[in-house]
A and B are shown apart, each in its own frame.
Chain A
């Protein structure tokens, strides 16, 4: 074993997708010495880099309508104040990306730039270059494995592993921003295999709480053989059975569960036959990677029917995550901040996110606030931060309590068997959730006691088991249908349950209603 790499920084950011990149950039701009550690490579890591995404970039006069348009879909769990500040922050960040960040947006006929979307590879390549210019030290292929705390319980850094050097590392820092993404349970949904919920586990191990974990059953449409998810383009699709008849009721939006139900028994086909020539050309310009599976398999998606599947996007597109307790994206644990998909996105999305534009807006806004606040926190600690004696907080997958046995691959297969199937996670019903949770509880006890081995893979496996248990514990507690969380045994929405749901714990889990009522026009109507 090579000696441990021991570093110090003011701010440590874990995760190099958009949220982590913005957090690191803003912390550096605030004067902090910043290290960013990435499981993969900052520039290609995460759900955005390999995709393309809209951005919730809205001119001031259109913001009221933009906010109102989402509230019914999301179960009235979003908060107007947060939506407004995300719209403001995103508008400012996109301007900065276009100018200082030199992102080449499309130029329209009138000379203005079209700023409502970004191509993932270009966006993240520019962010990486910008981070380097800003003096941020980036450690690629160096996943964080656990948080370090000081004797008071404040977060004091991270420990991790440099995969390509097989070298452990430790970074002592005044503050940590987790931006490790959501969890898609290694479903192969585009770019999501680095998103195994690691950060949520780290946060829970130091006492942070999660919120909205019942909103974790997002599935995306992809060609059956492929990883390429771009559900929005399937607004132009008709869905068919194998015999060529139309699958009635199936749709990309408000008809995806029809597809899930059909897929239980038969193959489902799609054809983008609602796209005219103008739309076809625009799709190709808008997102070239959408066409890779088709071009390479000699399929014409506008003329041929091709088989499709639904890939789990879990809490990557689902809105659950670590609870945000204040405007600065703090978590209630001193020194710990969250940004992007690892944080709950309920504040602006409630219980539902359709497209990626809110998600990208949340990533850059929460990254900005978390990075700025982390820099401020570290500055207030000053040099005392580096004198703290760090204690390792990691448990499951790193420090088994019993005899070492088993293999991370078996754990991954077992957790996937409880989370991927449409019958368990998508078409939710109490008895099936109960059964899945019982299996997961056993799997957790076993993992906690016995799993050890390749540190990165073992830790990912443990994180996924923890994530699945929080998801189903919350899903069982919400005995109604709201947002993306639909219960077949509780199909209606219960007005008395218009609150967020917290879940916490590692061995023993608990849930609680979040008493903070989201600020929406419904409340104003009641008040007046």
Chain B
């Protein structure tokens, strides 16, 4: 589920509020989005993909994480390279090659 919005990185562009398919965010008073309906988050990672400044982090768990979990800690996420890793993985962002250009997957024919 969505666990982090970095106020330092956020440029208040509203892209996540727009792009979230289950309408999880509201606009905060300072323009920085707030996680208003975390229980509606379907852990689809799309907000991360659409954030131009890698200000969001979606933990891969479908239940909320406890306070103090490292995956809610911006410093930890930056140090481990996890913040922004999905956007990098699909090759979105200036100067990157779209991941779809490289997406030659494995043979997934079921074994005979």
Contacts and interface: CB of A to CB of B under 8 A. Distances in A.
B106 A286 contact: yes
Interface in A40-98: 40-41, 43-46, 49-50, 52, 54
Contacts, number: 151
A193 B92 CA distance: 24
Interface residues of B, number: 41
Interface of B: 17-23, 40, 42-46, 49-50, 59-63, 71, 82, 85-86, 89-90, 92, 98-111
Given A104-B101, A226-B62, A50 B44 contact: yes
A103 B98 CA distance: 10
A119 B46 contact: no
B110 A41 contact: no
Given A122-B98, A288-B90, A253 B110 contact: yes
Nearest to B101: A104
B106 A275 contact: yes
Given A104-B101, A285-B105, A119 B90 contact: yes
B5 to A, nearest CB: 17
Interface residues of A, number: 64
Nearest to A116: B105
Given A41-B19, A225-B63, A122 B99 contact: yes
A287 B105 contact: yes
A296 to B, nearest CB: 5
A107 interface: yes
8 contacts: A54-B108, A104-B98, A121-B90, A121-B92, A227-B42, A235-B109, A282-B106, A293-B60
A188 B1 CA distance: 11
Nearest to A141: B23
Contacts of A45: 21
A292 interface: yes
A292 B1 CA distance: 12
B21 A40 contact: yes
Interface string A117-153: 1110111000000000000000011000000000000
Contact of A44 (B44, B61, B71): B44
Contacts of B85: 292, 295
Contacts of A254: 110
A105 B50 CA distance: 20
B72 to A, nearest CB: 12
